[in-house]
Amino acid sequence: MKRQWALLLGMFGASPKKPQSVPAPVREIMTRKYADKGRFIEEKLRARAGQPVTHKWRNRRWATLITVNLLFVVSFWLDIQILEGALTGSRFVGFHLIDLNAALQVMLAHKHIIVNLVIGALTVFALWVMLGGRAFCSWVCPYHLVSELAEKAHLALVGKKRISEHEFHRGARTLCWLLFAGLGFLSGFTVFETLSPTGILSRALIYGPGLALAWVALLLLFEIFYSRRAWCRYLCPIGLTYGVVGALSPTRVVFRVEQCLHEGDCRKVCLVPHVLDITIRGRADAEVMSLGPDCTRCGLCLDICPNGALQFDIKGLSRLL
């Protein structure tokens, strides 16, 4: 319970803490791994040099994200009524679906409960409880994909020392969530939906581009030249909403300390590297640990891990591929 509470606080912006004590089984694993330190370092260097990055999970994720968003486009343009609407609100073969954050914004703005809204939100809630909460961000959200591509440009510029990296406190996302909820309630208008790059890109793909794309372009430029993945890391209320849902999900990424070489490549590619703080030597307090609700289940850490220390897992069942 203490660990789960710490993970929730981490999602709202608290910094990870080093465990005060390490259980005997974990100490035994670490002692065994470092008994021959020279051999361990040699194994680490060999694994880093010889293990190719497969991009298996990234490719699956990109294919899923593109397919879902294209299904909206095809359904609209061919009028086949399979997936109608946009990501913020839709119908899938007659079933109402609505983004959880959008549903909250609408109900706060209108100040009453709308039955179809509740039905759509409960359906989406159940779906993402099963699939892993913030998996919505990496497997469905169109802004995540374009921001991921912009990140490559940002890292290239940082590598050439043309720009420097700037970070913000992760608690800013919680403040943004409260700010937009308050604005919706006080104004009677869904303020966030006019600024959400998720909704803007989804609608632009389906119905055609509009002036709102200029806001998305500004966000991407900010992320390329100033702060890596700033919207998703520090600002987006949608990620926080789905993170809370993910706290209930059995679908997770787990870390196995015995297989870890502590080379740190996973933290370099992660959108939310604080969830991988447990991969730092001396930070794990159990043999197998979940990365927690703020993990987007994107699979980038699985693709780059040279020793299989990170794996998808369904709680209570055997782990996935």
Question: What residues does each domain of the chain span?
Answer: 19-50+250-314, 57-244
Overall pTM surpassing 0.85 (yes/no): yes
pLDDT tens, 291-314? 999 999 999 999 999 888 999 999
pLDDT number for residue 133:
93
pLDDT number for residue 50:
57
pLDDT tens, 36-76? 666 666 666 666 665 667 899 999 999 999 999 999 999 99
Out of 182-186, 259-263, 285-289, 293-297, least confident range: 259-263
pLDDT above 50 for 196: yes
pLDDT number for residue 320:
46
Confidence of residue 113 (pLDDT cuts 50, 70, 90): confident
Q: At 133, list the tokens.
A: 């909460």
Half-sphere exposure of 76 (CA within 13 A, CB side): 18
pLDDT number for residue 315:
86
Q: At 289, list the tokens.
A: 């640990």
Count the neighbouring beta carbons within 10 Å of the beta carbon of residue 31: 9
pLDDT tens, 126-153? 999 999 999 999 999 999 999 999 999 9
Average pLDDT, the chain: 90
Confidence of residue 116 (pLDDT cuts 50, 70, 90): confident
Range 8-20 average pLDDT: 88
pLDDT number for residue 293:
94
Of all residues in the chain, the percent with pLDDT exceeding 70 is 93
pLDDT number for residue 44:
63
pLDDT number for residue 38:
67
pLDDT above 50 for 321: no
pLDDT number for residue 307:
85
pLDDT above 70 for 319: no
Strand, coil or helix: 62: helix
pLDDT number for residue 179:
97
pLDDT above 50 for 202: yes
pLDDT number for residue 48:
61
pLDDT above 90 for 3: no
Q: What is the DSSP string of 132-195?
A: TTTHHHHHT-HHHHHHHHHHHHHHHHHHTTSS------TTHHHHHHHHHHHHHHHHSS-HHHHH
* Angstrom distance (rounded) from CA 188 to CA 174: 21
